[in-house]
Amino acid sequence: MRKVAILGIGQTKIDEHWEKSLREIGGDAALAAMQDAGVEKVDALFVGNMLASIVNGQNQLGTFFADWVGLWKQEAVKIESACGSGAAAFRAAIMAVASGDVDSALVLGVEKMTDKAGRDVTAALATAADADYEVEQGISFVGINALVMRRYMYEYGWKHEDFAPFSINAHANAMHNPYARLHEKITVEKFEKSSMVATPINLLDASPIGDGAAAMVIVPADRVQRKPRVTVAASAASTDTIAVHSRKDPLFLQAAYASSKRAYEMAGVAPKDIDVFELHDAFSIMAALSLEASGFAERGQGVRLGLDNKIGIGGEIPVCTRGGLKARGHPVGATGMYQLVEVVQQLRGECGKTQVDGAKIGMAQNIGGSGATILTHILKSER
Amino acid sequence: MRKVAILGIGQTKIDEHWEKSLREIGGDAALAAMQDAGVEKVDALFVGNMLASIVNGQNQLGTFFADWVGLWKQEAVKIESACGSGAAAFRAAIMAVASGDVDSALVLGVEKMTDKAGRDVTAALATAADADYEVEQGISFVGINALVMRRYMYEYGWKHEDFAPFSINAHANAMHNPYARLHEKITVEKFEKSSMVATPINLLDASPIGDGAAAMVIVPADRVQRKPRVTVAASAASTDTIAVHSRKDPLFLQAAYASSKRAYEMAGVAPKDIDVFELHDAFSIMAALSLEASGFAERGQGVRLGLDNKIGIGGEIPVCTRGGLKARGHPVGATGMYQLVEVVQQLRGECGKTQVDGAKIGMAQNIGGSGATILTHILKSER
ipTM (interface predicted TM):
0.97
Residues 6+ apart with CB under 8 A from A197: A142, A146, A203, A205, A206
Average pLDDT estimate for A363-382? 98
Q: Which helix (H) or strand (E) holds A111?
A: strand A105-111
CA distance A278 to A294: 12
Could you report the per-residue pLDDT of A279-321, keeping only the tens digit for each?
A: 999 999 999 999 999 999 999 999 999 999 999 999 999 999 9
Could you report the per-residue pLDDT of B38-96, keeping only the tens digit for each?
A: 999 999 999 999 999 999 999 999 999 999 999 989 999 999 999 999 999 999 999 99
CA distance A48 to A68: 16
Does the structure show a pLDDT above 90 at A383? no
Contact B373 A60 (CB under 8 A): yes
Task: Verify that A217 and A306 share a domain, yes or no.
Answer: no
Domain range for A323: 229-382
Task: Verify that A218 and A236 share a domain, yes or no.
Answer: no
Which residue of chain A has the CA closest to B51? A53
In a domain, A68, yes or no: yes
Residues 6+ apart with CB under 8 A from A229: A5, A221, A381, A382, A383
In a domain, B148, yes or no: no
Report the catalytic residues of B.
83, 330
Q: What is the CATH number of the domain that holds B88?
A: 3.40.47.10
Q: Which residues of chain B have pLDDT under 70?
A: none
Best A4, A20, A242 member to test B by mutation, with max B CBs in 10 Å, is A242
pLDDT of res. A11? 98
Could you report the per-residue pLDDT of B154-199, keeping only the tens digit for each?
A: 999 999 999 999 999 999 999 999 999 999 999 999 999 999 999 9
Given A167, A194, A223, the domain boundary residue is A223
Task: Verify that A356 and A257 share a domain, yes or no.
Answer: yes
Confidence bin at A25 (pLDDT 50/70/90): very high
Task: Verify that A270 and A347 share a domain, yes or no.
Answer: yes
Does the structure show a pLDDT above 90 at A68? yes
Min Cα separation A368/chain B (Å): 7
In a domain, B344, yes or no: no
Task: Verify that A213 and A314 share a domain, yes or no.
Answer: no
In a domain, A321, yes or no: yes
In a domain, B275, yes or no: no
Task: Verify that A244 and A215 share a domain, yes or no.
Answer: no
Does the structure show a pLDDT above 90 at A1? no
SS3 of B153-210: the string is HHHHCCCHHHHHHHHHHHHHHHCCCCCCCCCCCCCHHHHHHCCEEECCEECCCECCCC
Percent of chain A with pLDDT over 90: 98
Does the structure show a pLDDT above 90 at A324? yes
Q: A170 at the B interface (CB within 8 A)?
A: no
Query: What is the tally of structural domains in chain B?
Result: 1
Task: Verify that A69 and A215 share a domain, yes or no.
Answer: yes
Could you report the per-residue pLDDT of A204-257, keeping only the tens digit for each?
A: 999 999 999 999 999 999 999 999 999 999 999 999 999 999 999 999 999 999
Does the structure show a pLDDT above 90 at A119? no
Contact B96 A95 (CB under 8 A): yes
In a domain, B29, yes or no: yes
Task: Verify that A215 and A323 share a domain, yes or no.
Answer: no
pLDDT of res. A302? 98
- Compute the mean pLDDT over every residue in chain A, rounded to the nearest whole number: 97
In a domain, A164, yes or no: no
In a domain, B201, yes or no: no
Min Cα separation B301/chain A (Å): 24
Per the document, the length of chain B is 383
Question: Which A-chain residues 256-275 have CB contacts (< 8 A) with chain B?
Answer: 258
Which residue of chain A has the CA closest to B125? A59
DSSP code of residue B316: S
pLDDT of res. B118? 77
Task: Verify that A103 and A236 share a domain, yes or no.
Answer: no
